[in-house]
Structure formats: structure tokens, C-alpha cells
Amino acid sequence: MATLLHGTDKVYKVPGVNRYGRATTIFEKFDGIVAELTRRYFENQGDNSFFEIQKYMKEEVCPKCHGDKLKKEVLGVTIDSRNISELSAKSISFIIDYLDNKLPTTLKSYEQQIAKPIIKEIKERLKFLSDVGLSYLTIARTAKTLSGGELQRIRLASQIGTGLTGVLYVLDEPSIGLHPKDVSSLIKSLHNLKNLGNTLIVVEHDRETMENADYLVELGPAAGKNGGKVIFEGTLDQIKKSKTSLTGKFLSGEKNITSTKIPLVKTQGKLILKGARQFNLKKIQAEFPLGNLIGITGVSGSGKSTLIVETLYPALKYYLDGYYQGIIGEFDKLDGFQYLDRVYLVDQSPIGRTPRSNPATYVGFFDDIREIFAETPDAKEKGFAKGRFSFNVKGGRCEKCQGAGVVRIEMQFLSDVYITCDVCEGHRYNKETLEVKYKGKNISEILKMTIDEASEFFQNHFKIHSKLLFLKETGLGYLELGQPAPTLSGGEAQRLKLANELSHRSTGRTLYILDEPTTGLHFFDIQKLLFTLKELVGKGNTVVVIEHNLDVIKNCQYLIDLGPEGGDKGGNIVYQGEFEGILKTKESYTGEYLRKILNFDMV
């Protein structure tokens, strides 16, 4: 095994025949599988094999510096008995408080004079980060562990700090990952940027952000082929009165995401995670009554993802599957896993990395479509079997693009670029295959249909039609059947996975985990998402959703609220129980904002 993995110093003599048929001998040293994977990893950055090789890799803390990154001599320099690594491990809120109160008392008068301008600059920059809701982050937090919303807000904070004027900023959903408590701080920062003399265009679905905008532009009226038109331009008051604006109807209160009161199921057992203490979790005990829609709430950085995605999910995978390739968050004990037979993390990762992956292949009805084409008189006359209509194998596909419809152009220092194939012109198949038609359409035209159009087209084919209905119910009717996976958003990929789950026969013993499923969703789409989640629960499954959206939270049967703050001041369970109980919990920020939207009086 060691030889296979790490090779040997021995040079092997390999006799053979070259491509011209002449006898030849190769003298080669076998470097081992690890060395070969390492070579491919660094030579193919950005290629598909790069991501494939990552499956065999894991990070380990450096045994020499123990994660401090610096040499022993550098770490020997301290201020107030703390070296730079120890201070960097603290949260932004801690360092602001430390610079304001603790540090000045430890410095001599001449040291204070030297430190004053330096501390002022540090505090100003940290305040920008705090103002956009990132006070819970540690200074040493690595960029790859940050969410898209956190990265965007860091860039926003840096722009506020530059003091530039006359700049047009475009922000795509800056409220992602933010608790309603933190959205107000974000909006204040956006106003500060505007008041400097800049213009901000914000793509957003958050109600409070829209209500604070000076001018609103709505696109629609629907999605995909049915969208792309400007249906409203104007102020907040004007959009509320508009008869054509769907957004305006939700903002005015004419339409609302309803809350369906479903009683808590107590008969399917309880999953109990004891002593969870990964990162900022304070050795908590979280209980999950199975068979319910469970909301995991709390301010940004309170430990929600640490508890569910980094501790509960890998622990369950280990107990149910017998193994888990990755790091499992620290905990003492997991009880109740015997009531489940499967755990599934419905994340926003792509359904595939190449244009050959699409909704039709992912949900699994493309095989049925190919069978229909193979049964047509044209196909039988030409002797075409089912495989002829696959774009993944030779025969019927275009060989220039190998069935992708696009050709990849590798860019040396940039991301790869895909251009339409000049041979098949994006149709994926060769001319002979495209001559075969079903109900007047060839296989390429079928793939260009939207899910809504295909649902009507295949209404007499039960297997195909039933799966298309699941896609429609999750609000994806506007997608094309053959839409390439790289063009799908994270939210669309997540809903595709949900639709795929709904299309399979359920045992009723699956636990689904969703992390911020409302990202990128309009009020109208959130209503559809809730219908899908409740349908999964209705089959006896358990759905655990990490969420800040109050419309989703108010539809949960059971809540676990973490906090009370983020970072070091978080990691505790503020409330755990049925939904109604959080409305009476004074310490919960989530409860505070729920009371506002539900007009609930504490007295």
C-alpha cells in the first residue's frame, strides 16, 4: 500500500511497442498515486479534474506553528501579554471594546501617544465591518470560510472606508445571511455610501431594504421566457398602489405569505444532540422532535451552521452510513438516530459542473424522453435505439462539442469561457439524429422547452409529467429542460434537489437540512418553497431549516433559537420549543421581530 501511495526510488524497465509498431523500452520511476494527484492538482487549476482531486484532500493544522502562521520569534512580541495571533483570534466586537477600554489602561503615557493614531485607524476600519453586521467575525477568519453575503459586506465596508465619491455601486443581495436585527445596520451603511455622493443599485428581495430604497425598478411579470420586461418604475408609495406589480401587492399587504398552523408531531421520536461545543457553541443540548418542520434561528454568527451543518449533519452521516469523509464538530452524544434511515443536506452547490448536466438529466426523466424517441416510426426506420438520443455517448451527438452544445475555451489566468458550438450551433446532436421527430419536435427542441411547456407537451406520459409537476410546484416552471447546470443559481439548484426528492418514493424517515433556502427568492417563490417543505414533512420526514426569513420562521412548528449575540457572545440556546413560545421570550431577537410582524403583545 505504501508503495502504491508514495512510490519507490526504483527505476522500472517497461518493454512495449510504440504507435508506429516498433519495439521500444521505457525506463520510468513510479512516483506513487499521491505524487501523481498532486501534480495533476497544481497543473489543472480550474479544470474539472481539479475539483475531482479535491475529494481526496483534507486540511490539517500545521504541526510546527499549530495554526498561528508565524515564526516563534514573531509570536514572542506581545502587547498586554497577547501576541498578534492571539489577538487576531478574537472577534471584531471584542477588539473594538479592547481598544476602547482595556488597552489604553495598560500603556504608559509615551506609548499612548505612539499608539493613538494607529488605534484610531484600526478602530475606524473595524467599525465599518461592525456597521455592516460582521462584528461576530474573527480577524483571522480565512476568506474561503466566509459566505457570499459576508464577502460582499466586507467589500462594502472597504468601499465606505475609501471615502470615494461619484461611484456607481452594484450590490447583489447584500442581505444574504443577515438576521433582521442586522439588516438595519446594513441599510444605514448603504445610506452612508449614498450620502458621500455615490449611486447604489441593489438587487434585493428583502422587504426592509426595498422599503428604504429611493427608487424601485421591478422586472417581470414572471420568470424565464415570461420575464425580462420592466413592469414598474417609481417610488415605494407608487409601487404599493400599482396594479401590475406583484412585489407591490406584498409590500402593501394586499398579499401575504400565510402561516398555516400545523400541530407539533410528538409520536416519531426525538433526535438529541448533547454537549455540542464546536467553535463558539457552549456545550449545548439541542433536541429535534422528528416529523416536523424545525427552524434554526438566531443572529448572524450565533452558531446555527456550526450546530447543524458542521456537527449534526456529519454526526448523523457517520451513525447512519458508518463513515464520514470530513471533520465532525465536537459533541458528547447523539441519541435518537435509530429513528432515521437517511440524512440529506440540500445545499446550494451546483447539480453538475459541466453544461451536460441539466434539470432533465438530474431529476431523471430524460431516459423516458429518449425511449419515446426510440419508439417513433422515424427512429425504427433508421435503426436508432435509445442510446442514439444521448448526448453523453458517441453515435447521435455532435462530436465537436461532445454533446454539450458549447465548446470550452481555456483561459490561462481567468475562468474558462464557453462558446456556442459552430458545428451543431448549440443543438448538441448531429443532423441525422435531429431528423427524428416526436409530435413535430426533435430532441434538441424538446430540451429547449421550459418545464411549463414540457408539462403540457408530455401530459399523456405519466412518469415524465409527474416529475415535471414537482418542478413546477417548487417554482421552477420557467427553466429549460436542457438548461446547463453552470447557468443555474444556488437557489435554483437547491429547489431542483428538493423537487428530485419529492419525485422519489419516501420512507418517511429522512431528515432534510436546508441552509438559507430563501436566498434569491421573491415573496411569491417563498410561498411555493413552503408548500414543498410542508409536503416533505407531510410524508413523515423531518425538515431542519437554517433561516433568517421571518415568513419561513413563522411557518415552523418547532424552533431552536441561538444567541443571544454572534461570535463569542453566541453559541447558547436562547429558546427551544414550539413556535408560540418564542413570542414570549424577551431575550430572543428573533422573537422580537416576529412579534412585530404578527402584532403580538407581550402583556
Average pLDDT over residues 63-74: 91
pLDDT given at position 468: 96
Asked if residue 301 and residue 191 are part of one domain, the reply reads no
Asked if residue 8 and residue 111 are part of one domain, the reply reads no
Distance, CA of 244 to CA of 221 (rounded, Å): 8
Average pLDDT over residues 231-240: 97
In a domain, 380, yes or no: yes
Span 556-592, pLDDT tens digits: 999 999 999 888 889 999 999 999 999 999 999 999 9
How far CA 288 is from CA of 264, 511, 587, in Å, comes to: 11, 10, 21
Asked if residue 414 and residue 502 are part of one domain, the reply reads no
H-type alpha helices, 418-542: 431-434, 443-447, 451-457, 462-473, 490-503, 523-538
The phi and psi torsions of 512 (rounded to 5 degrees) equal: -100, 135
Average pLDDT over residues 133-140: 87
Span 329-368, pLDDT tens digits: 999 999 999 999 999 999 888 888 788 899 999 999 999 9
- Answer whether residue 47 shows pLDDT above 60: no
Asked if residue 283 and residue 186 are part of one domain, the reply reads no
pLDDT given at position 5: 86
Span 306-317, pLDDT tens digits: 999 999 999 999
C-alpha cell recorded at residue 301 = 454568527
Asked if residue 208 and residue 149 are part of one domain, the reply reads yes
Domain hosting 133: range is 90-214
- Answer whether residue 122 shows pLDDT above 80: yes
Average pLDDT over residues 166-175: 92
pTM for the model:
0.86
- How many distinct structural domains can be found in the chain? 4
3 state DSSP class of 562: strand
Asked if residue 385 and residue 345 are part of one domain, the reply reads no
Asked if residue 438 and residue 346 are part of one domain, the reply reads no
Which element (helix H / strand E) includes 418? strand 417-420
**C-beta of residue 546 within 8 angstroms of C-beta of residue 275:** no
Distance, CA of 529 to CA of 552 (rounded, Å): 9
C-alpha cell recorded at residue 152 = 460582499
Span 316-333, pLDDT tens digits: 999 999 988 888 999 999
State the DSSP string of 44-105.
STTSHHHHHHGGG------TTTTT--S-HHHHT-EETTEEHHHHHTSBHHHHHHIIIIIHHH
Asked if residue 315 and residue 210 are part of one domain, the reply reads no
In a domain, 224, yes or no: no
In a domain, 185, yes or no: yes
Average pLDDT value for the chain: 91
* Number of Cα atoms under 13 Å in the Cβ half of residue 566: 20
C-alpha cell recorded at residue 560 = 431552536
Span 532-548, pLDDT tens digits: 999 999 999 999 999 99
Asked if residue 395 and residue 309 are part of one domain, the reply reads no
Asked if residue 346 and residue 369 are part of one domain, the reply reads no
pLDDT given at position 412: 66
Which element (helix H / strand E) includes 110? helix 109-131
Percentage of residues of the chain with pLDDT beyond 90: 64
Distance, CA of 85 to CA of 139 (rounded, Å): 10
- Answer whether residue 603 shows pLDDT above 60: no
pLDDT bucket at 382, cuts 50 / 70 / 90: very high
Distance, CA of 313 to CA of 344 (rounded, Å): 8
In a domain, 127, yes or no: yes
pLDDT given at position 51: 64
In a domain, 52, yes or no: yes
- Answer whether residue 129 shows pLDDT above 70: yes
How far CA 104 is from CA of 94, 99, 100, in Å, comes to: 15, 7, 7
3 state DSSP class of 1: coil
The phi and psi torsions of 574 (rounded to 5 degrees) equal: -80, -40
pLDDT given at position 184: 85
Any idea what the CATH number is for the domain that residue 572 is in? 3.40.50.300
Asked if residue 200 and residue 140 are part of one domain, the reply reads yes
How big is the chain, counted in residues? 603
Closest CA to 545 of 522, 572, 579, 571: 579
In a domain, 11, yes or no: yes
pLDDT given at position 291: 97
Candidate ranges 328-337, 399-408, 501-510; pick with highest mean pLDDT: 328-337
In a domain, 129, yes or no: yes
**C-beta of residue 274 within 8 angstroms of C-beta of residue 335:** yes
How far CA 340 is from CA of 334, 484, 565, in Å, comes to: 12, 34, 32
3 state DSSP class of 20: coil
**Least confidently predicted of 43-52, 438-447, 531-540:** 43-52
Span 255-303, pLDDT tens digits: 999 888 789 999 999 999 999 999 899 999 999 999 999 999 999 889 9
pLDDT given at position 1: 76
CA 107 from chain centre, in angstroms, equals: 45
pLDDT bucket at 413, cuts 50 / 70 / 90: low
- Answer whether residue 250 shows pLDDT above 80: yes
Asked if residue 207 and residue 103 are part of one domain, the reply reads yes
In a domain, 85, yes or no: no
pLDDT given at position 266: 93
- Answer whether residue 46 shows pLDDT above 60: no
